[in-house]
Structure 1
Amino acid sequence: MVTEVRGFTDPQKEEYFRKRFRDEEQASRIISHIKKARSLHIMCHIPVFCWITATVLEDVLETREGGQLPQTLTEMYIHFLVVQAKVKKVKYDGGAETDPHWSPESRKMIKSLGKLAFDQLQKGNLIFYESDLTECGIDIRAASVYSGVFTQIFKEERGLYQDKVFCFIHLSVQEFLAALHVHLTFINSGLNLLEEQQTSSQTEEHFYQSAVNKALQSPNGHLDLFLRFLLGFSLQTNQTLLRGLLTQTGSSSLTNQETVQYIKMELSENLSAEKSINLIHCLNELNDRSLVEEIQQHRTSGSLSTGKLSPAQCSALVFILLSSEEDLDEFDFKKYSASEEALLRMLPVVKASNKALLSSCNVSEEGCEKLLSAVSSQSCSLRELDLSTNSLKASAVKLLSAAVESPHAKLNVLRLNICELSEGNCEALSSVLSSQSSSLTELDLSIRKLQDSGVKRLSAGLQRLNCKLNTLRLSGCNLSERSCEALCSVLSSQCSSLRELDLSNSDLQDSGVKLLSAGLKSSQCAVETLSLSGCLITEEGCTSLASALSSNPSHLRELDLSYNHPGDSGMKLLSAGLKEPGWRLDTLRSRMFPEGPGGSSVASLLFAAGPPPVCCDLHRPSPTLLISAVSAPWGLVP
């Protein structure tokens, strides 16, 4: 059993702040500010961050009416730390609101907690024991005092065996204090704690660049937020907020600019999408939004739809799309680029979207592996994936099948039309259809040479108890009556969930339709929409269909017999059923071609000639049959 813990949605974020701030005008101002400061808005999916933000903004609005609200993550957490120091000063030390916030005791507490935070972050620990605290020079009595005074930062709890354990209220608070410790150590002594060989002669430029390198080398991204905080501390404005805690300041605007340029240089390298996005966040903490603004201008003008995006531009675009107020319902990759490199950099957008259109993006096997790893991740929101017109090899389809079967995958719709699929691929897909963890409800395999053997393999999965598929599109898959035999078993299966079946543009002929009709007669059949356009069906096939509908009239609502040869008697037979009260059929589609040159069937010329512009449909209730033959595109007269 997998339990997924999800954060606040955008409406829930707004609801939280409106409940916290009863003054409607004040709540609206706060919500508006958070939406504009997009990095803050993104972080607000974490409930604890919403609470931190509300705590800070409430204090800022009360003490500095009309003052500027925090714009970056580092600013927000510095304000939060200052609020906690103020609470300690007033509540525990008996001081006044106007007194200096930082007493020698408070400074010692924060510095000790910072060392603990950094040491344990390096080890990947979120829970600490007495021995961990002792290593940082904190005795157990002091730790209890810390948790009692800085209750909103540090907590003392009882473990499984009633032993004392300690933790920070949230990992982000631990990362913030860890970055503060590294910053204070470098400013006060010149030591770079991020390097194994620590020297006191490093320049500020090297210090911040080494921090960027260290975070990029982390295999699991555990230093990503730490890096954002550390770079944020380099700004003079943030150091001013910490006056009283800092005994001296460092970093110049020139140093910050060099750090910005270094980050932009790293963005041009072959980084993972997640690391690239974090570097964009780092630029935001340094108050440099030039790259994002440049892409925003191009996007507004529409110039991003042509040409190849650079790695840095891709990262900036991802940041913009992820932080946009617009709902990521559909992501159409062709609007931005057609290169696989760009696609891999934009995987975070794919994961955040409900629908991803990735047709004709020339994804390789390696790229497909990375894409599908993202699709099967727990954080992926994707419901619909279009990979049509890509040359997917057998191994890639197997990877795709494994991804869809993942317990974390939420994929409902998969489009693989005009892809290089084989009979072996159908076996892998059949396994997906019968998997208990698969959520797939629609599969499009149109215009591929699956042939009858491939459909036979698919049909095995369609009859399994766990199969949830209700829409199957096999248009133009080179099928014959043998496929209809396999599909007949599916239609009459008690386990089948099929509601829509598209078998258009195959040589099923009357013999195939007769087999298919046997399945339609079954009381287990629940198909509501059936497309048999261009299947070489004559009056005989229509007779079989009419018989099936009479035997099991309760389900089929729409039938498409366009580009066939039903004759007047065949269509009259079916259209008469529209008047039957027991039939649910309410739409009968019939586009008709005359004979082609030399008596050749229209179905065989359909793809070469293109469909006609006229559709003749018959809907219930209709007293007359509205069928007309349209002139064939090759200019013959019916």
Structure 2
Amino acid sequence: QECSVQLLLENILRSDATSTLLGGQLPIHVINNSQYISPLTASAEVKKTYVGDNLPSLDDAIHTALSDNIKTVMVVGPAGSGKTTALTKLVVGWAKGEHLQNFSYVFHFCLRELNSLDEMFSLETFLSHRHGHFTPEILSLALQEPEKLLFVFDELDQYKHSLDPAVHTLCTDLSQVASEPCLVASLLHGTLLKGATILVATTPTGHLEFLNGTRVEVLGFLKPQRKAYFEEFFTDPASANSALINMERTLGFYNFCTSPRFCWTVCSIYKSLVDAGESLPETLTQMFVSIMVHLIRALSLTEARSRDLVAALGRMASHCCLEQHSSCTKEEMYSFGFQQFLTSQTSVDVFLRVEGDLESDAGAFSFHSQLMQEFSLALSFFMDKSPCQSVKEMLEKHEGRAKFLDLYLAGLSEPTQRRPLEILLGEFNSDRILDFKQWLKSSSQKTLKDFYKDRQLHFFHLLHQCHNPSLVKEIITPSARIGISYGGLGLQDCVALNYVTVCLGEMEQLNLYSTKDFMEEEAESLVPAMALSEKIILSQSSLRTGSIPHLASALRNGRTKELDLSYSHLGDAKLKILCTGLRDCQLLTVCKLTEACCGDLASVLTSQNSQLHVLDLMFNDLGDQGFMQLCQALRSPYCKLQDLELHTCDLTAGSMEALSATLCSGQSELREINLTQNAIGDRGMELLSKSLQHPRCKLQCLNLYDSQLTGGCCAGLSEALKSEHWSLLELDLSVNELGQEGVLLLCEALSRPGCPIEKLGLTRCELTYSVFKELGSLLRGGTSRLKSLSVSLNSVGDQGAKHLWDAIAHPHCLLEVLEVEMLQLTDACVGDLCAAVSASKTLRSLDLRNNLLTNASVPALVQLMEDSHNIYNDFGEDVFEMLDSCSKIRY
């Protein structure tokens, strides 16, 4: 057995193959050169909430699964993610006695190599055929103890035979002779050698639906692993850091950058560019231009033969895309024009992967990666001198089958990016270049007029790939910069959106509404765009803690004046970080805060450089103690706050004394405050009333909607209204139980000559017929400045409302807006209503919604509205056509 294991080890470690730039470094070379860095893995549940910490490596995940006596382990990840290298390392480690010694025998298979077998075997002869280092005696003994056997199957996705158990008569007897596909299926389904452990590696494939077991998802190289890999590849730390920074900025937002194979390709081409004194690429297209130039130079072909090779690669790429085939036969390769290139293994290996003998007709050929396949297609299209196919036709032909095709076309359409290839291959087809430019401009401009986020983002990707700021400004003119929500962006989308914004130089509004998981990398990539935006909307969003410092940095160094974080559950800890960047912001809307945040907000308000004019804290549990901290800050000579939104902030009368003192201090710049749905009560209103008649109070708008007031507060408020120092222009007392006596006191005060109130809210305040009579008298009296009045949800009916109709018809009435929703109005009042509205010189909006008006009233209202004003109400469907005939009616 020791001899057989040694032969196995020697067989694995001995390889005549060589690494290729596109195919990646051979697994055994990685292991032997001590450059191995294990990719990361995660379960499906972990991937959804991935933060970046404590994810297991692929090696650890496999060892853990095998140690837990799991009989089938499926390692699933994209091509080039390190699966083959990890499995090779595992087998080598077992053979060296380093781990997994609970297994007596390990059988390692590359399933792609089994595709051409058409012989019949027993299991023992099959294993002997594939693993000649095991003697028949050892194999016979091994098969008697299945629980000590480990079968390693690599490249399941390349296996051409079905694993559907319904297709095979699965074997159960070791001596049974069957086809190779039947034996493999029997092993994988556990009917043969029951108790043996199976380890399978594959890209996502349909074969997986027939297998049961523990699934290990390969994430590949994330940022920390890429950093370690670059440091291993480049011996000079400065070169490693420079190369890594370039890759992260240029390519790191693409998913394929998690592939260890792709990282090796990038490092290899970067090193060749650095050694040649050339610049590193700025786009994905430039990266593949450098790769193509490197490979063509390596072949030392003439310009003519190089063009022939590119044309053949393009035809092959188109075939693979359209037919959805990953490989081509030798006959197909001849039809693409590869005859002159299939005579040398080296020239083919440079671009393609060869399965089987190059000289055999049974060989198969495929691209090393989908990326290179689509780049070859784009390149050959621009190299083709024939005029027969337009860009639009070519893209439509390959639509849904080539993900990066138009991105490559965008990059290659720019002279600076394609120039290195034109030096080697000759000039591109200028007509096709021009055709693409025209298609890009017309399609982009058309898409910008639509409100489809995904379409707009796709063209942002194309513009990013072009890497031409002048082109961005030409396409996205000021009139085309429409508002659209870009919430829920992936990292690639963030990079594209940021590029476009930076090229434009400014953004009126960056709408990231309803971003469900704003992560650190996404926020970091958007810092320049956020810094260039006058307004940032992140309402109803979920922000990771790591994203907040980047948002703060953008605010601190940018031109943002408004930040909307309403309904985003920011929390105190995140606000504390955000406060470091709020000095120049003029409007802030935040949510899910408590008393603990008020000290940080107070610090912002009292900063010498604070520009915060509007602070929206609605629906935050600040409490009285927290609000009193803000009141203290409002007295600072540096505080510029003018508008404070405190809707539902758990305030009581206990904090109104602090607010009153602030308003009377003469140091507060506060002009508007909203105390909606706080338990202010009559005691709190009494304290506020005293400050409202103070000569130093500058408040102009006070909202006390649903603040637990009663008629008991109206005497003090009435006295304040009579004061010559009263400064309020807007007062909302809606949804409070003020009652008849209380509001009559207010009406008396409102009739004072010079009373400045222009907007008054008395919705659902238990108003009566007598109150409406007094309001009508007030409006006709010639002293009232009221322009907006809301008395909705007070059931006074037609008789009460008649006083308002008489008032608005009077020449002394200044009302512009009147809301009378749910007053129990009927069709009987419509005659008086229409006469009053026709007579009014000022009324422009009348809200009649949810009254008892019927369809019979519609003709009169439509006739009225044809002449002047806006009326709101709910009517039956059979009169909609008549209502629609008058554009001024909204219903």
TM-score (norm 1): 0.47
Larger radius of gyration: 2
TM-score (norm 2): 0.34
